[in-house]
Amino acid sequence: MIVKKKKLPKVFDYFQDEDAFAGGISICSGCPMELLLRFMSKVLGKDIIIVGTPSCSAIVLYGQNIGSWHKLAYYGCLMTGVASSATGISRYYRKIGKDVTVVCFTGDGCAADVGFQPLSGAAERNENFIYICYDNEGYMNTGVQRSSTTPFGAKTSTTPIGVARRGNETTGKNLPFIMAMHKVSYAATATLSHLEDLAKKLIKAKEKKNEGFAYIHVFSPCPTGWGFPMDLSIEVCRMAVRTNYFPLWEAERGKFRLTRKIKKPRPLKDLVRMIRKFSHLTDEEMGMLEKEVHERYKLIEGMTRMMPLEENP
């Protein structure tokens, strides 16, 4: 006899509002970004202004002529203008004395590449809005091209595998750490397998944005672009955390704290063998990827020891 659980998981307590998006929206089956959009609109509520950019999410965030795919107020602008437009909106509402939550929702292509300068400028000025970057390690909407967060060795359509060149040649930017080093009021990493962690970080970002800039970097693997079955999306997120490929931490004004410490991290192979964009890696290339992952984890761990963020009493 199966014992039925009395209550739904604790995460449901964080939901403020109904899902603001229409039932059927045009995002790939199994995409974690769709889960992120709907989850975010439930946790942050419907009184937000969301600033979007041309990306996989633009299909849904931007309307079509008079119609819209969701009930939120949005501002659809260019990649170069996301952080700047959010600055304009939040500064205007600050001038008229109204508390408004402005959320920028972009991919890694905008945040790390073409929109990086305005993002860095807004972070330095500690503007009052939330910036959520969903990292699928490439420009997925235009056909899986490399971006500056694409990891070493990854196969993309602009870094294909051939005799002369094999995959991505650089290790990519450690974007969440760069943003934390702007000494912003809140910077965090999160992913879609650890939803309670994500909910807490979204709510904390909403509070902290009143003090200054809040940045959340969400690991959002792309089944279409990376090459794994669509039902494994959440499992890939989970494995990324368990192998320390994507450690979960948060930082306030340059002081760090791991929100999920993995006691026995699994070998990186467990993640890499799930994903086809890494299937061509030789042992040497795998060694270089492991080194980069290891160094990034050591960096975060070191910061949590040197500049620790105290737990709230």
Partner 1 sequence: MVKLKIHTKYEGAWSNADELLLCLDTGSWRAERPMVDEEKCNYCGLCILYCPTQCMTNMEHHFVPNLDFCKGCGICARECPREAISMVAEGNFRDEEEI
Partner 2 sequence: MKRKYKGEVRTITGNAAAAYGAMLCRPDVVALYPITPQTEVVEQLSRFSADGLLDAEMVEVEGENTAMNIAAAATISGGRVFTASSSWGLAFMYDALLQTAGFRAPVVMVNVNREMPGILAVSTGQQDMIGTRDAGWIQIIAEDCQEILDLVIMAYRLAEDFDIQVPVMVNYDGFYLSYLSEGVNIPAREEVDVFLAPLKEQPERPKLVPGGPLGCGTHGIEKGFVELRYKHCAAMERAKKKFDEIDRLFGESFGRSYGGQIEEYRMEDAEIALVASGSAAGTVKTVIDSKRKQGLKIGLVKLRMFRPFPSERLSRVFRGKKAIGVIDRSVCFGWNCGPIYMELRALSPEIGLIPIMSFIDGLANMDISIVHIERMIDSVYAASQGKPYQRVTWVVLEE
Q: Which positions from 124 to 163 touch partner 2 by CB under 8 A, shown as an x/- string? A: xx--------------------------------------
Interface with partner 1, residue 92, by CB under 8 A: no
Picked from partner 2, partner 1, none, the partner binding residue 3 (CB below 5 to 8 A depending on kind) is partner 1
Of 1 and 96, the one with the shorter C-beta distance to partner 2 is 96
d(C-alpha 15, C-alpha 237), whole Å: 22
Q: Nearest-CA neighbor of 25 among 63, 69, 90, 83? A: 69
CB 69 within 8 A of CB 15: no
Interface with partner 1, residue 231, by CB under 8 A: yes
Neighbouring CB atoms inside 10 A of 296's CB total 19
Check the CA dihedral 122-126-132-135 and report its sign.
positive
d(C-alpha 32, C-alpha 231), whole Å: 10
First to last CA, the chain: 42
The one-letter amino acid at 115: G
Query: Is 277 in a helix, a strand, or coil?
Result: helix
Query: Using the rule CB under 8 A, which residue among 11, 38, 46, 148 binds partner 2?
Result: 46
Supply the minimum distance, in Å, between the C-beta of residue 129 and partner 2. Answer: 11
Picked from partner 1, partner 2, none, the partner binding residue 232 (CB below 5 to 8 A depending on kind) is partner 1
Question: What crossing angle do the helices spanning 116-124 and 82-95 adopt, rounded to 10°?
Answer: 30
Supply the minimum distance, in Å, between the C-beta of residue 84 and partner 2. Answer: 3
Interface with partner 1, residue 232, by CB under 8 A: yes
Site for partner 2 in 49-78 (CB under 8 A): 49, 51-52, 62-66, 68, 71-78
Query: Using the rule CB under 8 A, which residue among 122, 130, 190, 195 binds partner 1?
Result: 195
Contacts of 71 (CB under 8 A, 6+ apart): 20, 21, 46
Burial-class residue 214 by CB neighbours within 10 Å (0-12, 13-18, 19+): buried
Supply the minimum distance, in Å, between the C-beta of residue 266 and partner 2. Answer: 41
Q: Of the ranges 140-148, 232-240, 254-262, 289-297, which one interacts with partner 1 (CB under 8 A)?
A: 232-240
CB 122 within 8 A of CB 78: no
Q: Of the ranges 86-94, 127-135, 151-159, 224-232, which one interacts with partner 1 (CB under 8 A)?
A: 224-232
- Kindly report the CA angle at 223 between 161 and 293, in degrees rounded to 5? 65
Supply the minimum distance, in Å, between the C-beta of residue 152 and partner 1. Answer: 28
Query: Using the rule CB under 8 A, which residue among 27, 100, 234, 262 binds partner 2?
Result: 100
Interface with partner 2, residue 181, by CB under 8 A: no
Alpha-carbon Rg for the chain in angstroms: 19
Residues of this chain that interact with partner 2 (CB under 8 A) are 46-49, 51-52, 62-66, 68, 71-78, 80-81, 83-89, 91-96, 100-101, 117-118, 120-122, 124-125
